[in-house]
Amino acid sequence: MKHAKRKSALLLMCSLLFVLTACSGNNGNAEQPTTAVKEGGDSKKQITLTFQNHYPDATDVQHKVMRQITDDYMAANPNIKIEVDSLNIDQQKIKLKTQAASNDMPDITVVNAAAQMAPFVEGGKLAPLNDILDRDGLGASFHSGILDYYTFDDKVYALPDGNNIAVIYYNKELFEQAGVAIPTTFDDLIKAAETFNGKQIIPMVVGEKETWTGSYFFMNILLRLAGPGYLSDVQAKTKDFMDPAFVQSVVKFREFIEAKGFQEGATSYDYDSAESLFTSGKAAMYFMGTWATGAMDDAEIKGKVGVFPFPTVDGKGDLDEYMLGPGTGFALSANSEHLEEAKDFLHYFMTNYPKVSFEFKNAVGVAQVVQGDFAQAGYSQLAIDVLDIFKKVKGGDIAFDNTMDPSTTQTHLNSIQNLFVSSIPPEDTAREHQNAFAANNQ
Amino acid sequence: MHAAKISKLTLSVFVLPCLILYVVLVFVPISVAAYYSLFQWNGIGEKLFVGLSNYSTMLAHDPVFWPSVWRTIMFAFFSMAEIPIALLIAVLLTRYVRKPNFLVSSYFLPVILSVVVIGQLWKSIYNPASLGGLLNNALDFVGLESWTRTWLADPEVSIFALFFVSLWQYLGYHILIQFTGIQNISQEVYEAAKIDGADGWKADRYITFPLVVPVFKISMVLAVIGSLKVFDMVMVMTAGGPAHATEVISTHMYNKTFAALEYGYGSAISIFLVIECLLATVLLNKLFKSSEDSMQ
């Protein structure tokens, strides 16, 4: 009996050992799927590249552009197969972080600019792309300054697809119906909200379940009151969040919420459902990055939409300064087994991106110089208006999550969401920011 | 016990596959999480060993943590309170409905629907009246305008709005379990009781309830563990907002780990969750053990 017990214990140990070795063995082969096809080729070996992006909606024009270029590339390079992994933005962010933690990143992926991609760069997960920028003048095709947001220590780690600014889209019909003029000051904006509410029209929509949307609006108030570069000053510790301009921004933001400027129950709306409130003509205004222009031209509201810049606040700020959206850039995994092929593909992709986008009428807010006459190509009046605004841009600032560390950013986002549902002293909101910043930047 | 002579060796060989699966899928990940919880780590770069400081921050300095725990526990209580109701419905079904299977299956229907579908459905039910929210429009219709609110955006009620959807979804599940439990009670017992003069509620009181206790217990454990782990419903409907008002332990862990990139801290929260689930199971088992003993 005793003997049997010992035997079974031994067996158990063996099995445990087996499990452990099996586990560790697995880790090494994590990138197997991409190499599996390798042996098949005769003259040129078959290679599969995974291309992760955030254009999941197949009816969306951005997805179509991506598909077109990818298919063209595969047609020209039959030995390369590109597997597209399209997810929506939040899912893609999480997936990439998980993949990075387990060293299993896709060959080509998408990262957000500046502070958001810093952990990936510092962790050595991304490959520098300077060599492909030098090839065939690809680097020169980008708007000046845009690559700075993707540069660390003089090395560029991602190539952006968009270069956007935040504007207020408005429904011309509803403005006329309510007799509201385009607001140029924040007080006008609040008055406009009151007028619209009086006529049972939603003044402005925001998808505050995705907390960055409200933050983007808030940051524009802050840009007017504190001027560009405020957050960088906070990071350099020459300013802090208790700054009167920051506190006053909170006050102004609350004023707009208390005037019921945003739709009822805003915190339960995600990006798409908020946007569709505007594109279905139920709301008068929509504050968003210019990337949304394509969606306006695709919807029933087409032809009725205009744009105007964010108004001045308390008489401060320059209308030609905008919240800039250096957006997202395509990056390559430093550990990719087919880094050279991936570089080739990315070079092809970015070289053709402006041209194909233009053909698909999606070239508003592209990060590269676009050749062609927009009006002649049949772009909408809205698109032309947005392009005109682009010409006036005199700088501005980038979003909170592009400047600050992820942990302080989360505190900020939740703190802004809190302003939608409760009235707390604005100094408390500022202090919450300052405490989080201090805790994460010792 | 003496029915078959099987050597311990054979037994262990047959248990082995399950054991391996269990170790790989449950034990290893938990140990890994416990290991990570000792580090300050953003999930990508270098790890910094910080000992138990993640735990002390969690227990003493995180303003979101305890409210999340409290909400989770409250949810577990609500789920437990639902089970007697499920039992009552199951008894009524057995007694008054001639072909109860159809009804039981209909009650079960929400369980097989995806949480995302249910979440989206209820989101539109909870919408403000101006945007076609069914609930608010119904309240308007019967003259209860003062009761209308933005159910998911009002921090006072949003967590209850969420609980309700979850309870609604799983009611059918528990009815099915209780119903099956009642079906398994031998008809002869009831017949014998009838001869002795115990009928109707009396029979339920002295026969159904005591005999259904093991099944009742399973329901209870499933409900409590299910609610401690609740995640998907919250994520779909509010993502923990507005301003943490619907945050539960698992969503807090998720947000900390993946949104704030505090991988080590998130792991500490997940270890807390594991311990909490284990504790709840042990507690429930003890509770039922004593009540079963007293009934025999």
Q: CA–CA separation, A365 vs A291, rounded Å?
A: 6
Q: pLDDT at position B295, please?
A: 60
Q: pLDDT at position B177, please?
A: 92
Q: pLDDT at position A39, please?
A: 42
Q: Do the Cβ atoms of A264 and B130 come within 8 Å?
A: yes
Average pLDDT rounded to a whole number, residues A393-405: 86
Judgement on whether residues A363 and A389 belong to the same structural domain of the protein: no
Judgement on whether residues A181 and A321 belong to the same structural domain of the protein: yes
In total, the C-beta contacts within 8 angstroms joining chain A to chain B are 128
Higher confidence at residue A348 or residue B140? Answer: A348
Average pLDDT rounded to a whole number, residues A304-330: 91
Nearest to A418 among B23, B243, B256 (CB): B243
Q: pLDDT at position A38, please?
A: 40
Range with the poorest average pLDDT among A23-32, A351-360, B178-187:
A23-32
Q: CA–CA separation, A383 vs A61, rounded Å?
A: 14
Task: Say which CATH number the domain at A406 has.
Answer: 3.40.190.10
Domain count, chain A: 2
> Which 194-223 residues of chain A touch chain B by CB within 8 A?
200, 202, 208-211
Higher confidence at residue A21 or residue B234? Answer: B234
Q: pLDDT at position A6, please?
A: 52
Q: pLDDT at position A391, please?
A: 83
Q: pLDDT at position A69, please?
A: 94
Average pLDDT rounded to a whole number, residues B236-265: 87
Give yes or no for B42 touching A (CB within 8 A): yes
Give yes or no for B11 touching A (CB within 8 A): yes
Q: pLDDT at position A250, please?
A: 95
The pLDDT of residue B124 is above 60 = yes
The pLDDT of residue A283 is above 90 = yes
Q: pLDDT at position A439, please?
A: 86
Residue A20 lies inside a defined structural domain of this protein: no
Judgement on whether residues A389 and A404 belong to the same structural domain of the protein: yes
Q: pLDDT at position A33, please?
A: 42
Q: pLDDT at position B127, please?
A: 83
Q: pLDDT at position B69, please?
A: 92
Average pLDDT rounded to a whole number, residues A180-197: 95
Nearest to B9 among A4, A16, A266 (CB): A4
Q: State yes or no: ipTM above 0.85.
A: no
Question: What residues of chain A lie within 8 A of the CB of B155, using their CB?
Answer: 421-422
Q: CA–CA separation, B82 vs B88, rounded Å?
A: 10
Average pLDDT rounded to a whole number, residues A255-281: 90
CA-nearest of A10, A47, A404, A426 to A236 is A404
Residue A226 lies inside a defined structural domain of this protein: yes
Higher confidence at residue B186 or residue A69? Answer: A69
Judgement on whether residues A295 and A393 belong to the same structural domain of the protein: yes
CATH code of domain B64-258+270-295: 1.10.3720.10
Q: pLDDT at position B228, please?
A: 87
Q: Do the Cβ atoms of B241 and A407 come within 8 Å?
A: no
Average pLDDT rounded to a whole number, residues B224-240: 87
Coil vs helix vs strand at B265? helix
| CA gyration radius, chain A | 25
Residue in this structure with the two tokens 């430093």, named with its chain if needed: A334
Give yes or no for B72 touching A (CB within 8 A): no
Q: pLDDT at position A42, please?
A: 46
Judgement on whether residues A193 and A276 belong to the same structural domain of the protein: yes
What predicted TM-score, i.e. pTM, was given to this entire model?
0.79
Nearest to A407 among B45, B123, B261 (CB): B261
Higher confidence at residue A294 or residue B110? Answer: B110
Report whether A369 contacts A141 (CB < 8 A).
yes
Mutate to test the interface with A, among B6, B7, B8, B116 (most CBs of A within 10 A): B8
Q: pLDDT at position A13, please?
A: 47
> Which 73-102 residues of chain A touch chain B by CB within 8 A?
93-94, 97-98, 100-101
Coil vs helix vs strand at B49? strand
Residue B170 pairs in a beta bridge with none
Which token pair is A358?
A: 């233009």
Report whether A219 contacts A397 (CB < 8 A).
yes
Nearest to B239 among A209, A266, A420 (CB): A209
For chain B, percent of residues with pLDDT exceeding 70? 97
Q: pLDDT at position B2, please?
A: 55
State the smallest CA–CA distance between residue B66 and chain A in angstroms: 17
Residue A379 lies inside a defined structural domain of this protein: no
CA-nearest of B122, B125, B158 to B244 is B158
Judgement on whether residues A216 and A134 belong to the same structural domain of the protein: no
pLDDT tens digits, residue range B146-167?
Answer: 888 888 888 888 899 999 999 9
Residues 6+ apart with CB under 8 A from A18: B20
Q: Do the Cβ atoms of B44 and A407 come within 8 Å?
A: no
Mean pLDDT computed over every residue of chain B: 87
Coil vs helix vs strand at B114? coil
Average pLDDT rounded to a whole number, residues A396-416: 89
Give yes or no for B24 touching A (CB within 8 A): yes
The pLDDT of residue A209 is above 80 = yes
CA-nearest of A94, A76, A73 to A84 is A73
Question: What residues of chain A lie within 8 A of the CB of B245, using their CB?
Answer: 421
The pLDDT of residue A15 is above 70 = no
Name the residue range of residue A177's domain.
164-325+385-440
pLDDT tens digits, residue range A95-133?
Answer: 898 888 888 899 999 998 888 888 899 888 999 999 999
Q: pLDDT at position A24, please?
A: 40
CA-nearest of B270, B207, B130, B94 to A282 is B130
State the smallest CA–CA distance between residue B11 and chain A in angstroms: 9
Q: pLDDT at position A179, please?
A: 93
Judgement on whether residues A334 and A310 belong to the same structural domain of the protein: no
Nearest to A421 among B20, B242, B258 (CB): B242
Judgement on whether residues A392 and A367 belong to the same structural domain of the protein: no
Question: What residues of chain B lie within 8 A of the CB of A1, using their CB?
Answer: 8
Average pLDDT rounded to a whole number, residues A209-227: 93
With cut-offs at 50, 70 and 90, classify the pLDDT of residue A314: very high
With cut-offs at 50, 70 and 90, classify the pLDDT of residue B296: low
Range with the poorest average pLDDT among A149-158, A213-222, A346-355, B184-193:
B184-193
Report whether B39 contacts B48 (CB < 8 A).
yes
Q: pLDDT at position A428, please?
A: 92
Range with the poorest average pLDDT among A154-168, B59-73, B122-136, B221-235:
B122-136
Residue A9 lies inside a defined structural domain of this protein: no
The pLDDT of residue B129 is above 80 = no
Judgement on whether residues A155 and A172 belong to the same structural domain of the protein: no
Q: pLDDT at position A27, please?
A: 40
> Which 407-436 residues of chain A touch chain B by CB within 8 A?
407, 409-410, 414-415, 417-418, 420-422
Eight-class DSSP state of B255? I
Average pLDDT rounded to a whole number, residues A190-203: 94
Single-letter amino acid, residue B27: F
Q: Do the Cβ atoms of B131 and A263 come within 8 Å?
A: yes
Q: Do the Cβ atoms of B130 and A200 come within 8 Å?
A: yes
Nearest to A4 among B7, B153, B261 (CB): B7
Average pLDDT rounded to a whole number, residues A187-211: 93
Q: Do the Cβ atoms of B44 and A101 come within 8 Å?
A: yes
* Sequence spans of domains, chain B: 64-258+270-295
Residues 6+ apart with CB under 8 A from B101: none
Q: pLDDT at position A130, please?
A: 93
Q: pLDDT at position A7, please?
A: 52
CA-nearest of B37, B14, B25 to A23 is B25
Q: pLDDT at position A247, please?
A: 95
Judgement on whether residues A318 and A230 belong to the same structural domain of the protein: yes
